Chain A
């Protein structure tokens, strides 16, 4: 609140996409870019840190970090670059092809052959705006512990910043999502849902039989 009131007089100098601007105190990088009427800021969606679109590179002196523009506040001297969308995925699979859960390990390594080559550089961890233990998640996945690996990625917003940071091209975000998906696909068979589906199936059957008998 204090910041809001101060914001009317005090300004924060910074650069966004190479343009020097003066922002209000306490606003996010997205709000600052808008206020300065910078063109081309369309990598923005939810404005609350869940869609992963507003990827930015941040430079403070020599230090370079990555982040989400809607969750980062303006700072004096900050240099901000809005990053282009990440490139198309290189790992392909279709979950409907997975019928047998016994060969999932082989499949995983066939789809993500790089995952077992993690060199523990922490690049993914330091780039993650959600502070996810990405590296541990990848290790769990490579060890076949899909459920646990998937749990690590619960808060992943698919910004794919970790993918860009990984020197081994492991695509950690997609590894994480794979793990979450196979866990549900193979193991989620909730009795309450299964029972209701069966009830509805019987009712439909009885319904169509009843109709033909009456006729």
Chain B
């Protein structure tokens, strides 16, 4: 695809933070906009799954390839590898995993938290904008529920959404008790902002470091907890099942340091492996951390869990195009919430900036495709996020409220106070995932899923601030429920579920050349390849 539009240098020369901007054009029908420009609707990007619990359902093509693939582990591999027994195994050391581990440990369980990279290396630590909870007098739990369902195009599960919204205020109390700070007003109230697609001011935050502040506190609490053991650099490469392959009784972990395998046997496994941005679906750049390769979806699917909304992903409207080492990285929606406008190559507004993310994203893609973008070269095109105008209206605001943005761009020659930021949609969030109940339990006994790997809450589009709420709300729910399974059963662990999957793949005539989960994107694997 060749992109037309205004060359960057020319657009920069034209740009003035005080230029007159015309009125917003009358909005087009958002359904039409979405179906024409949103990447979920790209022709050929969605296929039908042939095997597994979602057979017959649709799924994004790149993800389907990973779900319907061969495993790393064979029956023979299980012999002679060291075995560890714990009450609860938590897979993934982001916010959801830590919340689940802490809650299970508080309930007296011996918990092992195994994570792929370093504890806290996660999407959670990068969250900037904030966390939603209905706490303002003019707001209500009901409004929060409605906004979430409407934002998700009514594809979300109303029960799950209601529980999450009700948990909101108590989640904040739990986090504060653990020692998390939030922004306050002069009289000591929690300061709130209004996020895109919401009817009330409901986003609480800690500068633009909300995720960092949350992760620091959770990480420290987990590390210092006497009931929790943490294994870093230890990705789960397969789950283990009982003799009939129908319940989850553990996992196989691989060491990124020496490649060695370990078996963990347990009553409950809590999958908290986060998202899949690093699959770069449809060729998009991503805002996600390095470990976001959709491993949890693959593991859960192979052991028989049902997944949902596998063809719906969130592309965040404002990913950086430049500087290049930050390509795909986010400029938080908080900047738009604070009043920054989006301008095309002609210097005009083209969308209400606080529309839901999918709508804003589709509008930006439309501008770029129709030649009204600003381009660096054939591959890199975007629109302006007008930060200098915001700074002019309220000098010092960027430094004060968005130190993270400022610190990331410092040293790269782009100063958001004087130069608008070139932005383009970036792959950001997995809307769907493992189908769960109110305890975070999947359709497979013994297997829980929480956080971004789980689905059902955000429908087909997530509104800002609900992910951080979900990970704590459901992390705690699953942590609690995971300790109540007393069924220790015969301690025979098998990979019987893999035999089921292999048979199905063979019947469907699908190739079994590729082994998954991905663990690390190919470009980060080095040679020799980490498995």
- Chain A contacts for B322, CB-based, 8 A: 1
- Chain B contacts for A118, CB-based, 8 A: none
Tell me, in angstroms, the Cα distance from A177 to B217 when the chains sit together: 8
Whether the pair B408, A39 counts as a contact (CB closer than 8 A) is no
- Chain B contacts for A93, CB-based, 8 A: 224
Whether the pair B408, A48 counts as a contact (CB closer than 8 A) is yes
Whether the pair B126, A94 counts as a contact (CB closer than 8 A) is no
Q: A45-B121, A94-B225, A174-B220 known; A192 and B189 CB under 8 Å?
A: yes
Q: Mark B116-135, 1 if CB is under 8 A from A, else 0.
A: 01101110011000000111
Whether the pair A156, B216 counts as a contact (CB closer than 8 A) is yes
Whether the pair B177, A44 counts as a contact (CB closer than 8 A) is no
Stretch at the interface among A23-31, A56-64, A101-109, A162-170: A23-31
The answer to the question of A140 belonging to the interface, with a C-beta cut-off of 8 Å to chain B, is no
Whether the pair B134, A196 counts as a contact (CB closer than 8 A) is yes
From B176, B188, B289, B526, contact of A47 by CB (8 A): B289
From B166, B232, B526, contact of A85 by CB (8 A): B232
Q: How many B residues are at the interface, by size bracket?
A: 35 or more
Whether the pair A197, B169 counts as a contact (CB closer than 8 A) is yes
Stretch at the interface among B32-40, B41-49, B323-331, B337-345: B323-331
Tell me, in angstroms, the Cα distance from A187 to B524 when the chains sit together: 44
Whether the pair A45, B220 counts as a contact (CB closer than 8 A) is no
Whether the pair B224, A26 counts as a contact (CB closer than 8 A) is no
The answer to the question of A96 belonging to the interface, with a C-beta cut-off of 8 Å to chain B, is yes
- Chain A contacts for B182, CB-based, 8 A: 184, 188, 190
- Chain A contacts for B291, CB-based, 8 A: 45
Whether the pair A184, B180 counts as a contact (CB closer than 8 A) is yes
- Chain A contacts for B133, CB-based, 8 A: 193
- Chain B contacts for A46, CB-based, 8 A: 121, 125-126, 289-290
Q: A44-B524, A47-B289, A48-B329 known; A191 and B173 CB under 8 Å?
A: no
Q: How many A residues are at the interface, by size bracket?
A: 35 or more
Q: Mark B509-531, 1 if CB is under 8 A from A, else 0.
A: 00000000000100111111010
Nearest residue (CB) in B for A70 is B325
- Chain A contacts for B136, CB-based, 8 A: 192
Nearest residue (CB) in B for A94 is B224
Whether the pair B224, A182 counts as a contact (CB closer than 8 A) is no
- Chain B contacts for A39, CB-based, 8 A: 526-528, 530
Whether the pair B179, A34 counts as a contact (CB closer than 8 A) is no
Q: A31-B325, A45-B125, A193-B190 known; A38 and B526 CB under 8 Å?
A: yes
From A45, A177, A191, contact of B216 by CB (8 A): A177
Whether the pair B221, A193 counts as a contact (CB closer than 8 A) is no
The answer to the question of B401 belonging to the interface, with a C-beta cut-off of 8 Å to chain A, is no
- Find residues 134-193 in chain B having any chain A CB closer than 8 Å to their own CB: 134-137, 141, 166, 169-170, 172-173, 176-182, 184, 187-190, 192
- Chain B contacts for A200, CB-based, 8 A: 141, 166, 169-170
Whether the pair B8, A1 counts as a contact (CB closer than 8 A) is yes
- Chain A contacts for B407, CB-based, 8 A: 49, 130, 155
Whether the pair B188, A34 counts as a contact (CB closer than 8 A) is no
The answer to the question of B346 belonging to the interface, with a C-beta cut-off of 8 Å to chain A, is no
Whether the pair A177, B220 counts as a contact (CB closer than 8 A) is yes
Whether the pair B404, A50 counts as a contact (CB closer than 8 A) is yes
Whether the pair B212, A157 counts as a contact (CB closer than 8 A) is yes
From B211, B213, B224, B524, contact of A92 by CB (8 A): B224
Nearest residue (CB) in A for B521 is A34
The answer to the question of B256 belonging to the interface, with a C-beta cut-off of 8 Å to chain A, is yes
The answer to the question of B223 belonging to the interface, with a C-beta cut-off of 8 Å to chain A, is yes
The answer to the question of A53 belonging to the interface, with a C-beta cut-off of 8 Å to chain B, is yes
Whether the pair B125, A50 counts as a contact (CB closer than 8 A) is yes
The answer to the question of A51 belonging to the interface, with a C-beta cut-off of 8 Å to chain B, is yes
The answer to the question of B194 belonging to the interface, with a C-beta cut-off of 8 Å to chain A, is no
Whether the pair B179, A180 counts as a contact (CB closer than 8 A) is yes
- Find residues 33-89 in chain A having any chain B CB closer than 8 Å to their own CB: 33-34, 37-53, 70-71, 73, 85, 88-89
Nearest residue (CB) in A for B286 is A47
Nearest-neighbour CB distance to chain A for B3, whole angstroms, equals 16
Nearest residue (CB) in A for B217 is A181
Nearest residue (CB) in A for B106 is A96
The answer to the question of A139 belonging to the interface, with a C-beta cut-off of 8 Å to chain B, is no
Whether the pair B137, A1 counts as a contact (CB closer than 8 A) is no
Tell me, in angstroms, the Cα distance from A81 to B447 when the chains sit together: 40
The answer to the question of B376 belonging to the interface, with a C-beta cut-off of 8 Å to chain A, is yes
Tell me, in angstroms, the Cα distance from A58 to B209 when the chains sit together: 27
Nearest-neighbour CB distance to chain B for A16, whole angstroms, equals 11
- Find residues 253-268 in chain B having any chain A CB closer than 8 Å to their own CB: 256-257
The answer to the question of A12 belonging to the interface, with a C-beta cut-off of 8 Å to chain B, is no
- Find residues 147-178 in chain A having any chain B CB closer than 8 Å to their own CB: 150, 154-158, 174, 177
Whether the pair A95, B178 counts as a contact (CB closer than 8 A) is yes
Nearest residue (CB) in A for B219 is A158
The answer to the question of A189 belonging to the interface, with a C-beta cut-off of 8 Å to chain B, is yes
Whether the pair A89, B408 counts as a contact (CB closer than 8 A) is no
Tell me, in angstroms, the Cα distance from A197 to B134 when the chains sit together: 10
User: Assuming A45-B118, A183-B181, A190-B184, what are 17 further A-B pairs, CB within 8 angstroms?
Assistant: A34-B523, A34-B524, A39-B526, A41-B526, A44-B524, A47-B329, A50-B125, A51-B118, A51-B126, A88-B223, A130-B407, A155-B403, A158-B219, A180-B181, A190-B135, A192-B137, A193-B173
Chain B interface (Cβ within 8 Å of chain A)? 8, 117-118, 120-122, 125-126, 133-137, 141, 166, 169-170, 172-173, 176-182, 184, 187-190, 192, 207, 209, 211-213, 216-217, 219-221, 223-225, 232-233, 256-257, 289-291, 322, 324-326, 329, 376, 403-404, 407-408, 411, 520, 523-528, 530
In order of increasing CB-CB distance, the 7 nearest A-B pairs are A181-B179, A45-B121, A39-B526, A190-B190, A192-B189, A196-B135, A37-B527
Chain A interface (Cβ within 8 Å of chain B)? 1, 4, 26-28, 31, 33-34, 37-53, 70-71, 73, 85, 88-89, 92-96, 130, 150, 154-158, 174, 177, 180-185, 188-193, 195-197, 200
Task: List 11 interface pairs A-B (beta carbons < 8 Å), by A numbering.
Answer: A40-B256, A45-B120, A50-B125, A51-B125, A53-B118, A85-B232, A95-B221, A130-B407, A188-B182, A191-B188, A197-B173
